[in-house]
Structure 1
Amino acid sequence: MPEASPLTAKIEKVAPHQDSAFQRLYRINVSTTAQTVADLPWPSNWPEQSPQESLQLRLFHLNDIHSKVMLPDPIKGDTRVMAQVAARVKQARLNAADQAVLFLSAGDDHTGEVYDELLGYSAESFVKSLTYHAFSGAGLDAATLGNHEFDRGNRVLQQALQRDAAFPVLSANIAASSVLTQDDYAAAIIGTINGWRVAIFGLTSTADTKTHLPDDPDFRLVPAQTTLENFLPALAEKVDLVIALSHLGYQQQGVFGDQQLAEWLAQHIDVPAIVVGGHSHTRLHEQGYSKDHQYAGVPVVQAGSWGSHLGEVQLQVNADTLNVERAELHPIVAHDTKTTAPVLVDEAYQAQVIAPVLAQVDALLNEQLAPAQENAALTKPEVLAQRYVGELALANFMTDAIYQQSKQSLATDVDVVAVNASSIVGGLPLHTPITFAQWHSVMPYADSLQRIELTPAQLRELVQSNAQRIVRPEERDSLDLTDFINRGFLHFSGSLRYRIALGSTPTQTRVTDITLHGKPLSAFEGQTLTLLVGDYIASGNQGWRGQNLELWQTNAIKGFDLKALPRTHLGPQFRDVVVDAMRASATDPLLQAKRDGRLHVSTD
């Protein structure tokens, strides 16, 4: 394994794409710990100041598209997400007149659709990043690296960056990598638009990004504040407008997010700024621009998730002020191939850019894994309503499939398998054979399995911590159960059974009657037990690294530190092992997908 590449400050000229508003464009890389922008030799003939007239800037933005480039549906009609986005951006550029048009993505462009299988799991198996390919064809000006860009390892990401991203991809807070070089990504870009000097920099979430990857053990990030303090004030002295392309999240409790970023920008730089955000899947300014999402004069925008909307903000930039003239979210029209409503779609883009890639995955998409289902407990409404509140039939099937496959395909003994509730994002249709594409939509994330060693006492602590994370009856009306509730609530294989007594608050929640392999947990004292779980949770995300949890009416409960336990990376993806079990089944593999009482929840 090569040593981590040194991150040194440098600036280099690059060519803007043919439809870009930038006349000149430069990539900037900075060291997160040493050199700053002030140390860089600046480009010759860089303008000393902005023009007298204002800059009219029309900014389109996406975030958290999660590979939803196109959503096929042979019955209701396909949703051509990126063809609709490309059409609107293209139209704006053609009609720009004295406006400048930029198109940006705030990250999490991958992980969420079957097209991710084209990424493979190694540099050798990589075929294509459909999302980056689609962005390139639509004239994206820049994207930031979201946490899910790293899901399949940095060698896969490097292939996507080098082969499919014809635009700058940004992250200013990568501190070290043995794989990614500064030719693969940049901290920021600067460019000129009609004499105006514009900087765009990227930030990646440190809370949810997989680090210490098997293919890049030296990979790490530093907190956003460290990076900002190091390079941004010096950069801001050279430009007239700063655009923060942030994958930190909006109003994320207990972390430095977009609100704090906006306030930091207002306090530490003297030029106008805007935060284009992602990560939290938030829809901002859906009913028009609202100053509720402006902090110390710095606006924050975000456009939902999963290809639901394209954001647009119209800005007037003057020498020292920024005025938001308009902001809105354009809904992506569902099932546009069969709707009778007028839809703006770039048909040529769909045919020339998207369709040839889709043809490469047709056979995989349509592989049948199970016959038609009649089990309403497996449908999407039922799954989304139950995944955070108690036992879930679909999770039982998944964890039991892994448990049963552990000795055959994983060649390891295992006591318990766990799956994160928020990694299950959908359900299965009734009366329709189950295909690979449909199963992928249920569990789209590329979590690789990790084998964790723990004592019976530690397993008891883990189960107790898990019980405190459950969504309680008193809070259900205030939460959207169809959205992500990032508490890290886990579902377990049938080898582990237990009861949760909720009590009146999470502090009073207690676990009782824990059994393992049909015996009281106390019968295993003195033994080392094994837990299989995806690497996202094994890495301590969603409150599994010992930090305080944000729970109903309290943040005083410390979560269990799963990250501190000994673990072994097994390699196979959680979803792939489940799919292999379905393929190997001689009967309908989903017949056993039911609630069997392994978890009992009472209000005692």
Structure 2
Amino acid sequence: MTSSNHNAPTTLSRRGLLLGGAAFATAAGLSPMLSFRANATPAAGELQLVPATPNPNGSIEKLFLLKGDPLVAPIKTIVAQDGSPVPMPVLKEGERRVLRVLHFNDMHNHITDLHGKKGNTHRLAQMVKLVKDARAKAADNEAVLFVSAGDDHTGSVFDELMGWSPEEFVADAGYRSYSAAGVDIATLGNHEFDRGAELLKIGKDTDAAFPLLSANVHSSDFMLRDEDYTAAAIADIKGLRVGLIGLTTNIDTRVGQSNDPNMAVERPITAIQNVLPAVAAISDVVVILSHCGYGIGNHASGKAATAREIGDGDFAIAKIASDLTDKPVVVVGGHTHTELNTNGIDNDNMIDDVLITQAKAHGAFLGDIAMSIAAGQGRQDWYSSVSLHPIKSSDIRVKADDEKYASLQQDGDWDDAFETSVVSPLLKALDSKLAESIGSVEIDTLGRDAMIASRYIGENSLANFMNDAVVERSETFPNGKVDFALFNATGVSSGVAKGPLSFKAWYDVMPYADAIHVAEMTGAQIRDMLQNNVSRLLRPSETEQTDMGGFVSRGFLHFSSGIRYEIALGKDAKSAKAVNITLHGQPIETVLDKKFTMAFNTYIALGAFGETWNGKPIGGGVKGDIASLDVRKLKFDHTGLVYRNEVIAFIRNHKTISQANGAKLDGRLAILK
């Protein structure tokens, strides 16, 4: 591999390790320096090195957290908290160590996937077996690190153990199981904040035996930097010093929530520029846990069926990292659910010898990076191999003589002791919730395939049902009944089969943590919203080349029955028009000044982030640089009610999902030919 030369000097000061210049590889040869500023608050441009307790089930022998503000200025100085030596890279000339990073991302609480007919897939328990085997077989010069690149919440029924308020909290299933699994460290993903930073802090305090990282999340009233998470950490394992930095997407994290209004996320690039040189100077190798997404700007990969806005993605992070240090650096990614380097290193994922990798999502793979690192050689003599270990799905219906049998989960593929002692108690806590019948489905037209295929291209019968249910339920809202309701297409995550309907089956339809927010809108504002919405439709010419099961991240919205309109497609998205609009049966032209109330889900009310209801151009592959409507300018009544819970209450009251109570296509949206 090739390497650039970065010879900017690193100097020492009486205050600790003083860092200067664009890169700091030469720091490896310097002696440690004492700091005499014990317990002082780190100054601007300074991080304080604080000893911490590693996860006792993990591999880290000594752990240090780097505390201080990584955003106010480039970090020039690292000081020890207690006057002890600042730890320098420990590899001596001629020594070589192997660092093996076992990683996953975007687990979304898919610890164990439950299925009545196929059997349960023990995803995390399979990983635990692989990690334990790797640690047991590791050579004396081989360090094994087990990490998460974020989004460890939101997506399975285990989320319900978190509750919706501190009083409802039972357990943080993800963090509890990770602690027992031996996860060494994790970064904060955007979905960690879905239920608010207050509940995340409770989950962290109760169940996380490992540190959390993010160099660019700041100003939360609940999750406090340096108390609940830090920008970076230093880990000693098998004579190797590993620097770790966490990054969180600034595009899709839920900021602006009413109970934590000051929380914000800085651009990842700003954070990495400020922090990486200092961390690299005292490390043999740096692992960047980046929950920012594969690519840069608008990019399509992983769960995205069309391009989505990711901002400062891993391409930009890797490029800047390569310019800031000669040390070996790997970017362990997440957020976009991208499967990378399946069959070994793909050269497209090497940016100036900085490796980018990602292990898809939902526990589909355990990523495996093996790096051979020589003292003082930087990336000139850095060897790495990359692989993905498939996590096998269960299907107990398949017989041993079937060719698919070997690829499916079988006895012995998972750590049974872990599943029994850690996951089973969590499932037991969920038993009554999961199995609870909330009603029945009377029709057979609402299956997953049909609902997923139709959610981006026009009217969707399940979205119709959901929105109409919220309007009816709004009779119980604190400020009275709403006129209309909306929900984004990507939030319709599954369908329902005819027959009895369990809580879990409906949870699969609506896994996201959305509350209800009510805004007052004029007829003219609703007209403008509909006009903006039609440009987001997946057009007929696009459907054949689009994976309809993936995310089309355009922010296309579905509405309740009181809003009816037609779409004149035009020649392209920019020329598409919303026509023949009626609100409660009245032509839009007659009610432009009239005020109505609209129920929003949290994701859209906050501007939809990468799906852009925030004034930025519509993404998701829509051409023409069409500006989105910024709904954040509306005044919202934050009801505190949960969208999914209100729909479930509607189902319980009616006892069924049927055409009679809204699960049908009624022509509220028509596509003109």
Q: TM-score range by the shorter chain?
A: over 0.9
What is residue 166 of structure 1 aligned with on the other side?
Answer: 209
Letter in 2 for 1:464: Q
What is residue 74 of structure 1 aligned with on the other side?
Answer: 116
**Residue 57 to residue 436, structure 1, CA distance change in 2 (3 Å):** same
Give the drift of 1:373: 4.3
Give the drift of 1:35: 6.0
In structure 1, C-alpha distance between the alignment counterparts of 2:133 and 2:189, rounded to whole Å: 28
In structure 2, C-alpha distance between the alignment counterparts of 1:479 and 1:57, rounded to whole Å: 39
What is residue 301 of structure 2 aligned with on the other side?
Answer: none
In structure 2, C-alpha distance between the alignment counterparts of 1:180 and 1:412, rounded to whole Å: 34
Select which of 468, 475, 490 maps to 2:557: 490
Measured against aligned partners, the alpha-carbon deviations of 1:160-207 in whole angstroms (never above 9, x if no partner) come to 111111111111112212111222111111022233221111111111
**How many residues are aligned here?**
596
What is residue 547 of structure 2 aligned with on the other side?
Answer: 480
Select which of 51, 70, 73 maps to 1:13: 51
Give the drift of 1:258: 0.7
What is residue 433 of structure 2 aligned with on the other side?
Answer: 364
In structure 2, C-alpha distance between the alignment counterparts of 1:126 and 1:200, rounded to whole Å: 30
In structure 1, C-alpha distance between the alignment counterparts of 2:553 and 2:504, rounded to whole Å: 25
Select which of 85, 88, 101 maps to 1:44: 85
Give the drift of 1:336: 6.0
In structure 1, C-alpha distance between the alignment counterparts of 2:240 and 2:658, rounded to whole Å: 61
Residues 238-387 of structure 1 correspond to what in structure 2 (within 5 A)?
238-252=282-296, 253=298, 255-318=311-374, 319-321=377-379, 323=382, 325-335=384-394, 340=400, 341=406, 342=410, 344-376=413-445, 378-387=446-455
Decide which structure has the larger Cα Rg and report it: 2
1:532 aligns with 2:599: yes
User: Which sits farther off after the overlay, 53-62 or 320-329?
Assistant: 320-329
What is residue 423 of structure 1 aligned with on the other side?
Answer: 491
What is residue 26 of structure 2 aligned with on the other side?
Answer: none
The residue matched to 2:371 in structure 1 has which SS? strand
Residues 435-474 of structure 1 correspond to what in structure 2 (within 5 A)?
435-474=502-541
Check whether the contact 2:233–2:244 (CA below 8 A) recurs between aligned residues.
yes
Give the drift of 1:468: 0.4
Unmatched 5+ residue regions in structure 1?
1-5
**Residue 582 to residue 200, structure 1, CA distance change in 2 (3 Å):** same
Give the drift of 1:74: 2.0
In structure 2, C-alpha distance between the alignment counterparts of 1:556 and 1:198, rounded to whole Å: 43
In structure 1, C-alpha distance between the alignment counterparts of 2:74 and 2:421, rounded to whole Å: 43
The residue matched to 2:167 in structure 1 has which SS? coil
In structure 2, C-alpha distance between the alignment counterparts of 1:296 and 1:151, rounded to whole Å: 35
Root mean square deviation, CA, Å: 2.0
1:85 aligns with 2:123: no
What is residue 153 of structure 1 aligned with on the other side?
Answer: 196
What is residue 596 of structure 1 aligned with on the other side?
Answer: 666
Unmatched 5+ residue regions in structure 2?
1-42, 299-308, 401-405
In structure 1, C-alpha distance between the alignment counterparts of 2:651 and 2:274, rounded to whole Å: 51
Give the drift of 1:361: 0.9
In structure 2, C-alpha distance between the alignment counterparts of 1:337 and 1:84, rounded to whole Å: 16
User: Which sits farther off after the overlay, 21-30 or 485-494?
Assistant: 21-30
Letter in 2 for 1:365: L
Give the drift of 1:552: 4.3
The residue matched to 1:212 in structure 2 has which SS? coil
In structure 1, C-alpha distance between the alignment counterparts of 2:248 and 2:624, rounded to whole Å: 25
TM-score, normalised on structure 2? 0.85
The residue matched to 1:100 in structure 2 has which SS? strand
Letter in 1 for 2:241: R
Identity value in percent = 36
Letter in 2 for 1:213: Q
Residues 493-532 of structure 1 correspond to what in structure 2 (within 5 A)?
493-532=560-599
Select which of 278, 281, 287 maps to 1:237: 281
Check whether the contact 1:32–1:226 (CA below 8 A) recurs between aligned residues.
no
The residue matched to 1:559 in structure 2 has which SS? coil
What is residue 108 of structure 1 aligned with on the other side?
Answer: 151
What is residue 3 of structure 1 aligned with on the other side?
Answer: none
Check whether the contact 2:552–2:620 (CA below 8 A) recurs between aligned residues.
no
**Residue 77 to residue 50, structure 1, CA distance change in 2 (3 Å):** same
1:414 aligns with 2:482: yes
In structure 2, C-alpha distance between the alignment counterparts of 1:307 and 1:590, rounded to whole Å: 36
Letter in 2 for 1:561: D
What is residue 212 of structure 1 aligned with on the other side?
Answer: 256
**Residue 324 to residue 499, structure 1, CA distance change in 2 (3 Å):** farther
TM-score, normalised on structure 1? 0.94
1:584 aligns with 2:653: yes
Give the drift of 1:49: 5.0
User: Which sits farther off after the overlay, 39-48 or 341-350?
Assistant: 39-48
In structure 2, C-alpha distance between the alignment counterparts of 1:210 and 1:104, rounded to whole Å: 23
What is residue 457 of structure 2 aligned with on the other side?
Answer: 389
**Residue 10 to residue 47, structure 1, CA distance change in 2 (3 Å):** closer
Give the drift of 1:423: 1.0
The residue matched to 1:156 in structure 2 has which SS? helix
1:134 aligns with 2:177: yes
In structure 2, C-alpha distance between the alignment counterparts of 1:436 and 1:547, rounded to whole Å: 37
Give the drift of 1:306: 1.8
User: Which sits farther off after the overlay, 553-562 or 381-390?
Assistant: 553-562
